[in-house]
Structures are given as C-alpha cells and as structure tokens.
Amino acid sequence: MPKRDPGHMNSQRERIILAAIACIARKGVEGTSMADIWKEAGLSAGALYVHFKNKEDLVTQCLRFELAPDRAPPATWDELKQRMLDFDARPGLDATIVTRARIHLRAACINPGELHDIMRGFLNGQIVDLTGWIQRLVREGIIALRMDAGQTAAAICAHVDGMLWMALATDRPLDQYLPEISAGLDQLITRP
C-alpha cells in the first residue's frame, strides 16, 4: 500500500474533526454517529477509522481541537474580552456551529471519564492563565478588581459560557449577545 502524504493525512484528519464538530452542533454528542460524520466529511468509513479508533476517540479529539491553547497573553482588558468573545477563530466553522458544539462537548464532560479529565485540566489551566493575565493587568494599573483575580477569572468563564447557552436557548443570534457579554465582563472590574 502506498504511503500517504503527511500533509494530505493532516488535512483529512482536520476535515473529519470539523465534520464531527458540525454534527455535534446539530445532534449533540450522543445523537451523532460515525456514519453522520463520514457523510458530513464526504469520506468513507474506512477513512475515519484510519485516523480515529472509534467515536469516543474522535469526540476526544474534537474536544482537544475546541480547547486549543490561546495566543500570547492579552496586553489590555479590551484585548482579553475580545479573546473571550472570539467565536470565529476556527476556519471552516461559523460562530453558531462553534458555540453549539462547545456547549454539547462541555455537557458531555460532566460524567467521569476521559472527556471529563480533559475538560477539568483545560478549565483549571484556563483559570490559572486568566488569573495570571488579570493580575498582570492589575499590577500595570490597567484595571482594578471587585473580587480577587481567581474569582474574577472563574466569573469570566461562567459568564461567557452562561450567556452563550442563553443565546442558543433563546434562538437569539450570537452577535446580538456579544455586547451584553462584554458589558457583563466590564462589571467585574473598574478602570482606574
């Protein structure tokens, strides 16, 4: 059997992950089948199994893809807020698909298991990163806090995810919620 070009294989793998994310956004994790994913990707079942052992493996990789690490630390409060509200950061997926998949994937992480462990590690890391960024903004005199930096970081995560859920649950376009999310984040700080 001829060897496949690594670039082609990586491209095909990402295509499968993007297809899985789109399916999860529509049907949830439990409602999505491998057949749904290979049809969405326009590939054969065999192509999926070259890259992923089973659905759990693929869902795990979707979660890792969705939780990919951010760029360099933000220099300002407005930059930090923009990063928290940047739902179009994934090429090939619109903001609504990314948000629906995000909510479904996070809900699937509630039960103990590999997905839960991945999410716990991500959330703990996100809180640590946000706390450090917030502390730096305070030290530089850019913002002042209404509560400690760790509590502020946790409140940021809870506020953003909660408002995203509200947007989806009430069928309001995400872009209508972005100013409200931003205004809510501003309530967590004061500007000296």
Q: Which of 140, 182, 189, 188 is nearest to 163 (CA)?
A: 182
Residues of the chain with CATH 1.10.10.60: 1-66
For 103-130, the pLDDT digits (tens) are 998 888 898 988 898 889 888 988 999 9
pTM passes above 0.85: no
- Can you read off the two tokens belonging to residue 172? 């309001």
**CA dist 186 → 80, 105, 130 (Å):** 11, 27, 15
CA angle 138/140/146 to nearest 5° reads 15
Q: Which pLDDT tens digits describe the chain residue by residue (192 residues)?
A: 456 788 888 899 999 999 999 999 999 999 999 999 999 999 999 999 999 999 989 998 888 787 666 668 899 999 999 988 886 656 667 888 888 988 998 888 898 988 898 889 888 988 999 999 999 999 999 999 999 999 999 999 999 999 999 999 999 988 898 999 999 999 999 998
- Kindly tell me the number of DSSP H helices and DSSP E strands found in the chain: 9, 2
Residues of the chain with CATH 1.10.357.10: 68-192
User: Are 190 and 146 spatial neighbours (Cβ–Cβ below 8 Å)?
Assistant: yes
Among 3.30.360.10, 1.10.357.10, 3.30.1330.60, 3.90.1300.10, what is the CATH number of 68-192?
Answer: 1.10.357.10
7/64 Cα distance (integer angstroms)? 20
For 63-72, the pLDDT digits (tens) are 878 766 666 8
CATH class belonging to 1-66: mainly alpha
User: Are 70 and 32 spatial neighbours (Cβ–Cβ below 8 Å)?
Assistant: no
